[in-house]
Amino acid sequence: MLASVIIVSYNGKDQVRACLASVLATLPANCEVIVVDNASVDGSPDMVAGSFPSVRLIRSETNTGFGCANNLGVTHAKGEFVVFVNPDTVAKAGWLDPLLTMLQQDANAGLVTGKLLRPDSRINTCGNDIHLTGLTLCRGLGDESIAYNRVEEVNAISGALFATRRQLFEHIGGFDEAMFLYMEDTDLSWRIRLAGWRCLFTPASVVVHDYELRFAPLKVFYQERNRYLMLLKNLRSATWLVLLPSLLLAEVVTWGFVFTRDRRNWRNKLRAYVWVIRHWSMVMDKRRRAQTQRKIRDRDLIARTIWQLDFGQVSQGVAGQLATVVFNPLFGLFWLITRGVVWW
């Protein structure tokens, strides 16, 4: 079998129905679709079983998180390639072939992502940008759909749409299941790149993603906890020291974000610190596993990071403009220093 398409579902019956209808309508005969239901209570699994009998349904008894559920789907996959699609997407005709073709034609391609459009036809993301501090941003958010019209290497793929080789995914350890939600696609991208593979973007693969910036009660906890986890796992300890001024400045930025956009849940930022401290031994175990697969230098990872933060993605007002003027020149200076110092 050529490819296995994996979709993780959690209480999104109508979205999953639309997603499956679009995927199955465009699916080659030598591919399969697997839905992993994360203990939905809205009737999603029964709908999938009744309306889409050709889909392989895996029911999880508990909500294990995005990464863990995808990993479970891969254990049941029969395809040479595995393709991950968010349940809140609608696939356009011809979306799958470009992803698989790039993997087949480029021996160094580890992950391939496509162009995600918002329902208003503007760009959601064309791969993701990773900031020097691990903060991750949608690449091209809000731009016209015709932008980003060539194949290119990117910092990270978007977990909402990407393909990879099943053997590589299994060899690298899949998604980090400790992350539960958010940043797991960035972490996977860094580990794939650390192992010597490339992350690529193709504009020929297009899906519509029902995306808008939302602030769930635990979002800051997961994003910040997982960012720290990613940095600790993938970078050498000497790099942490060089990055310390940048990381401290990022703390100022993220605390400012919390108090302006998510004030009711400000304790979640503290919880992220506490989690890392309490699970330090586990974090170091994950770090050792990641480092055993290292094929490139930290310098190579840092070289592809960005130094500018697009504050407009979270604030369109004066606060975002002021943050751009104040923080980006400092991040730019720290990025130059880091590039000059980190040769390992």
Q: Are 205 and 99 in contact (CB under 8 A)?
A: yes
Domain boundaries, the chain: 1-90, 219-341
Query: Token pair of 328, please?
Result: 């980006």
- Give 67-85 pLDDT, tens digit per residue: 999 999 999 999 999 999 9
pLDDT digits (tens, 9 = 90+) for 77-121: 999 999 999 999 999 999 999 999 999 999 999 999 999 999 999
Nearby residues of 196 by Cβ (< 8 Å), 6 or more positions away: 108, 295, 296
Alpha helices in 57-198 (DSSP H): 66-75, 96-105, 166-172, 184-194
* Cα Rg, the chain, nearest whole Å: 20
User: 253 vs 319, which has greater pLDDT?
Assistant: 253
Exposed/middle/buried for 261, CB within 10 Å: 0-12, 13-18, 19+? middle
Closest by alpha carbon to 209, among 84, 83, 113, 117? 117
C-alpha 68, offset from chain centre: 14
Per-residue model confidence (pLDDT) at position 213: 72
Q: What is the pLDDT of residues 163-216, one digit of tens each?
A: 999 999 999 999 999 999 999 999 999 999 999 999 999 999 999 999 877 767
Which of helix, strand or coil describes residue 272? helix
What's the CATH number for 1-90?
Answer: 3.90.550.10
End-to-end Cα distance, the chain: 41
Instruction: Give the pLDDT score at 260.
Output: 87
| 0.85 surpassed by pTM | yes
CA distance 77 to 176: 18
Count of beta carbons in the 10 Å neighbourhood of residue 322: 12
Distance of CA 232 to the CA centre of its chain: 17
Given a contact cutoff of 8 angstroms between Cβ atoms, the answer to whether 119 and 15 are in contact is: no
pLDDT tens digits, one per residue of 322-343 = 888 999 999 999 999 999 999 9
How many C-beta atoms surround the C-beta of residue 29 within 10 A?
A: 5
> What is 78-114 written as a DSSP string?
-SSEEEEE-TTEEEPTT-HHHHHHHHHH-TTEEEEEE
Pairing of strands 161-165, 136-138: unpaired
Looking at the predicted structure, is the pLDDT value of residue 315 above 70? no
